[in-house]
Amino acid sequence: MSLPLLNRTNVKDRPAAPVRIVHLGLGAFHRAHQAWYTQQADPEGAWGIAAFTGRRPDAAVALGAQDGLYTLIERSDGGDSFELVGSIVEARDGADVARLAELVAAESTALVTLTITETAYGLGPDGTLDPGDPAVAADIGLLASGAGREGRPTTAIGRLVWALAARRRAGAGGIAIVSCDNLANNAAAARAAIRGMAAAADPELAAWMDTHVSFVGTSVDRITPRTTPAEIELVARATGFQDDSPVVAEPFRNWILSGSFPSGRPDWERAGAVFVEDIEPYENRKLWLLNGAHSLLAYAGTLKGHETVAQAVADPECAQWIADFWDEAQANLPAGLDIPAYRAALLERFGNSRIAHYLAQIAMDGSSKLRMRALPVLRAERAAGRSGAAAARMVGAWIAFLRSAAAAGRPVQDGAAERIAAALALPTGQDTAALIGLLDPMAAGEAAVVELIECAADSFAAAADSFTASAGS
């Protein structure tokens, strides 16, 4: 017997709230995190979210058919619980820039949240907008020519700048941009990307941003693996509805924010969000300890034949590598962050065997992720007169992973895939410096750092050869 589709016609206790939040990067993490927080903080139904996809429209098509409703599966070793989330009231293809501009220009829209991934900011290793990126350059040209009003910017940043220009023309007042991506000082990164593109295309728009757009920094945390057909079947049995867009997440969740909201915001504190004056220590704690460990496991664990975080962290050698890296990271974090308890909680979360967090998913876009997760620790350790060997091991594992992929003819999922391929075409040794240069040009010029990372990559050579052979069989 077919089940009724999950939508607002069939579920009448979830009327759509008016759109006051625009989100770019409609994906599982946003739906398990910011959308969940907004629902918990907004029992009156005053803060609806219009969410736009990134690279593909699929999520918008599936979620749009359900009027934005979906089931959140909270998964622990003790079992599953199910919650209906209705804070998303519009799901749109990211290419629908006309609707994006209409919503951002509306006076009722108070903020824009972002989960567009590190790569989509279009920043170079120096933290500024990279005009050498062909997509970035094309959008700057489009916006500068004035064709942006009728044209179609293709990057997330270009689309948002285009929409902010519409808000300026409408005289709609101040708006907050809230980056929820795993970037060090993500408020500054968002400002560098968004204002940087505006300044390159239209200096008057950039000047308007200086007085009308605030950039809010965040630290976000909730492990959200990919949904499989098994979860769709599970939700159908548990709820009696056909939900083609459920989301799986761990019980743990954390959201720390810092910044101003000129046109208001939901009462996210009601759901447990925390507002602080200085967010950098919290960002670094999460980026280095959680995300850094994830990247280390993604490359080293994959080379050792593991597929999920839980499998890799159960490997004593991988667990020791994590501990070594955490020791280095902890030495460069300030007191007062309760790091020992945070580390213990991370190990418990990583070991949740019912959360199938695939290493292949984490391994994507390593060139931008390691720039935030490994290099700051490596630089800090060496500045303190220590080797930084554990941070170098993470970069070395990435290089061994890339070499293995090239040898097996496997494509690399990375925004810098072409530059990675060009580096890998160089002789062994030279490729190391070239790959490090994608993360940090200054580090690539330090012979001692290159040698340290090359030794780390060599230590994974046997595992990489074995992984290449198994992938080709």
**pLDDT over 70, % of the chain:** 97
Q: How far apart are CA 39 and CA 19, in angstroms?
A: 13
The whole-number pLDDT of residue 429 equals 81
Q: Is the dihedral of CA 10, 20, 190, 372 positive or negative?
A: negative
Question: Given a cut of 70, is residue 151 above it in pLDDT?
Answer: no
Confidence of residue 184 (pLDDT cuts 50, 70, 90): confident
Question: Given a cut of 80, is residue 472 above it in pLDDT?
Answer: no
The whole-number pLDDT of residue 473 equals 52
Please count the residues of the chain. Answer: 473
The whole-number pLDDT of residue 77 equals 82
Confidence of residue 147 (pLDDT cuts 50, 70, 90): low
Q: How far apart are CA 424 and CA 168, in angstroms?
A: 45
Which is nearest to 64 in space by CA: 4, 7, 2, 11? 7
pLDDT in tens, 315-372: 999 999 999 999 999 999 999 899 999 999 999 999 988 888 899 999 999 999 999 9
Q: What backbone torsions phi and psi does residue 61 show, to the nearest 5 degrees?
A: -65, -50
Q: How far apart are CA 352 and CA 333, in angstroms?
A: 26
Tell which wins on pLDDT, 150 or 101: 101
The whole-number pLDDT of residue 126 equals 86
Instruction: Quote the pTM value.
Output: 0.85
**Average pLDDT score over the chain:** 94
pLDDT in tens, 211-269: 999 999 999 999 998 899 999 999 999 999 999 999 999 999 999 999 999 999 999 99
**Pseudo-torsion of CA 220, 256, 74, 78, nearest 10°?**
110
The whole-number pLDDT of residue 44 equals 92
